[in-house]
Amino acid sequence: MAVVEVNLGKDSYNIHIGAGILSELGQLMRQFAFTAKALVVSDENVGAIYGAVVVETLRQAGFSPRLVCVKPGETAKAYETAMTLYTAAIEEGLDRRSPIVALGGGVVGDLAGFVAATYLRGVPFIQVPTSLLAQVDSSVGGKVAINHPLGKNLIGAFYQPQLVVIDTAVLATLPRRELYAGLAEVIKYGLIADRDFFHYINEKSNAILAMDNNVLTAIISRSCRIKADIVEQDARESALRMVLNFGHTIAHAIEAGTGFAQFNHGEAVAIGMRGAALVSHYMGIAEPEVVENVCGTIRRFHLPLSVAGCSAAKLHSYLLHDKKVIGGKINWILLRSVGEVQVHSDVPEQIVSRVLAEIT
Ligand code: NAD
Ligand code: ZN
């Protein structure tokens, strides 16, 4: 069991991490002055496996929970689904001190968090992330959102949970491809902030892939700590938080350029991290071994290194359309070495073209 404290003044909260702690959720929630009514939001996949355990632990702790399961997948992060959740909250009579619990991956976390942030101008929010990506990334940082038909995450807020409970044992039922996708973000944390952690991930790769709960607890808590350190200094996302975008500039172009179908987010990030490492090398900032280290690690965790079926030119045009590109300038998060990043907005077009040609 590990606890990561996220220090954000009056919005501070703890992340509890351990194998089997799902059944302690109700007990952990008793420390707050919540009213008994609670809305548990999940999706049909996760709700079918873990919904009953969560309802039971809440009941035992004196809550009267209502479980609502949305359709799995990104399309649930929509205004229409949010409306059905507001309806459930109103019907149940949830008041300002009634908690909304997100039980699921990043989709459920973002959606339930958005509803918690807006229902009655904000009710208590509890995150129980069940995908590795949600455990190490989307449940830390307080960004909640739904999509608009014209773009992802366009309607949202900064809204911190009061408690995050991460059960590593639930990863046993997560599809392997989703596990690898989450590992891409774990690798990212090592690369941007912690050389020793990066080596640890590589050393323990077999234990990670065999779902050793102690090692999973270690890598999840370290990842949450790294993200929390950055978020604590930059809660509203100005300059510093940008380093979390390492590998993401190219990743977003890959996701858009391949119609959001061929690669999941973590796979696109893996290719994007290789691209960013190559840019770092061609800029004369990183030694060739850094690129080799990045590629070796990506390969070890069954993640892709290149894009098939999307031309470099197409990727380049999507790259310039990224919402983080301001005035045609791309802010590149580059590696000096493993664990050390630098921001550059002066990467020449030729280097970008060369790298995009190499990864396609
Ligand atoms: P997801 O929520 O769609 O989950 C992936 C799939 O795994 C789903 O089919 C889900 O039902 C299933 N699943 C989840 N946990 C499971 C388990 N333990 N056992 C069996 N099946 C399980 O996708 P995701 O990758 O978790 O999250 C992606 C979303 O997160 C995107 O919408 C993205 O925008 C968002 N996100 C948000 C932030 C943020 O800071 N708020 C950061 C990164 C990503
Ligand atoms: Zn990401």
Residue closest by Cα to atom 1 of ligand 1? 105
CATH code where residue 126 lies: 3.40.50.1970
106 plus 10 within the same structural domain: yes
Range(s) of the domain holding residue 66: 2-173
Q: In terms of Cα–Cα distance, which of 200, 310, 291, 202 is closest to 247? A: 291
Domain closes at, from 152, 173, 194:
173
90 plus 180 within the same structural domain: no
pLDDT single digits (tens) 261-272? 899 999 999 999
306 annotated as belonging to a binding site for a ligand? no
Q: What is the pLDDT of residue 151?
A: 87
For residue 241, is pLDDT > 70? yes
pLDDT single digits (tens) 301-332? 999 999 988 899 999 999 988 766 666 688 99
Place of tokens 């900032």: 285
Which numbered atom of ligand 1 lies nearest the CA of 173? 19
Q: Which long-range contacts (CB under 8 A, 24 or more apart) does 321-327 make?
A: 321/256, 322/249, 322/252, 322/253, 323/151, 324/245, 324/249, 325/249
pLDDT single digits (tens) 27-86? 999 999 999 999 999 999 999 999 999 999 999 999 999 999 999 999 999 999 999 999
202 plus 77 within the same structural domain: no
Domain closes at, from 132, 149, 173:
173
166 plus 216 within the same structural domain: no
Confidence of residue 106 (pLDDT cuts 50, 70, 90): very high
12 plus 126 within the same structural domain: yes
Residues with active-site annotation: 121, 143, 185, 227, 237, 241, 245, 248, 252, 265
Q: What is the pLDDT of residue 269?
A: 98
pLDDT single digits (tens) 118-136? 999 999 999 999 999 999 9
pLDDT single digits (tens) 135-189? 999 999 999 999 999 988 999 999 999 999 999 999 999 999 999 999 999 999 9
CATH code where residue 197 lies: 1.20.1090.10
ipTM computed for the complex: 0.99
6 plus 137 within the same structural domain: yes
Q: What is the pLDDT of residue 236?
A: 74
Q: What percent of the chain shows pLDDT beyond 70? A: 98
Please give the tally of structural domains in the chain.
2
For residue 297, is pLDDT > 70? yes
188 plus 330 within the same structural domain: yes
For residue 234, is pLDDT > 90? no
Q: Which of 75, 178, 252 to mutate to test the pocket of ligand 1 (most atoms within 8 A of CB)?
A: 178
Q: In terms of Cα–Cα distance, which of 244, 209, 223, 217 is closest to 136? A: 223
Distance of CA 246 to CAs 251, 291, 356, Å? 9, 14, 16
Q: Which of 49, 131, 263 to mutate to test the pocket of ligand 1 (most atoms within 8 A of CB)?
A: 131
- Exposure on the CB side of residue 344, measured as CA atoms within 13 A: 20
List pocket residues of ligand 1, CB cut-off 6 Å. 43, 45-46, 49, 72-74, 77, 104-108, 110, 130-131, 133-134, 137-138, 141, 143, 153, 170, 173-174, 178
327 plus 198 within the same structural domain: yes
Question: Which helix (DSSP H) or strand (DSSP E) does residue 336 occupy?
Answer: strand 332-337
36 plus 185 within the same structural domain: no
278 plus 328 within the same structural domain: yes
345 plus 197 within the same structural domain: yes
Q: What is the pLDDT of residue 322?
A: 72
For residue 237, is pLDDT > 90? no
115 plus 64 within the same structural domain: yes
Domain closes at, from 133, 156, 173:
173
